[in-house]
């Protein structure tokens, strides 16, 4: 799969996340990214130590990639929890 196809998939998933949860603050997205990184770590450890199936690793990378796109959007929009998401 090409890098463009991967980022397209992340952008699509980021849009789905926004449709489901709305635009979230930078702080909320950081917590979500931290959780997804933990899930990616868990999937990697399970691959290495248990079943040898690496499919979940890519699922977790996709989840994290989408959140990174959302984080970048939130940072550019100055969406911090204290200001209620206003960009100015």
Q: Find the mean pLDDT for residues 65-74.
A: 97
Residue 11 lies in a domain: yes
pLDDT at 52: 82
Q: Does residue 20 lie within any of the structural domains? A: no
Domain count, the chain: 1
Chain center to CA of 34: 9
Domain range holding 66? 3-15+25-81
Residue 88, domain member (yes or no): no
Q: What are phi and psi of 80, to 5 degrees?
A: -105, 150
Q: What is the pLDDT of residue 62?
A: 98
- Residue 1: per-residue pLDDT: 83
């Amino acid at each position: 799969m090409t890098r463009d196809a991967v980022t397209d998939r992340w952008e699509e998933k980021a849009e789905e996340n926004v449709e489901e949860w709305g635009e979230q603050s930078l702080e909320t997205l950081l917590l979500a990214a931290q959780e997804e990184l933990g899930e990616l770590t868990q999937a990697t450890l399970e691959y290495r130590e248990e079943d040898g199936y690496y499919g979940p690793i890519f699922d977790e990378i996709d989840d994290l990639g989408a959140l990174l796109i959302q984080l970048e959007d939130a940072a550019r929009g100055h969406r911090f929890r204290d200001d209620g998401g206003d960009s100015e």
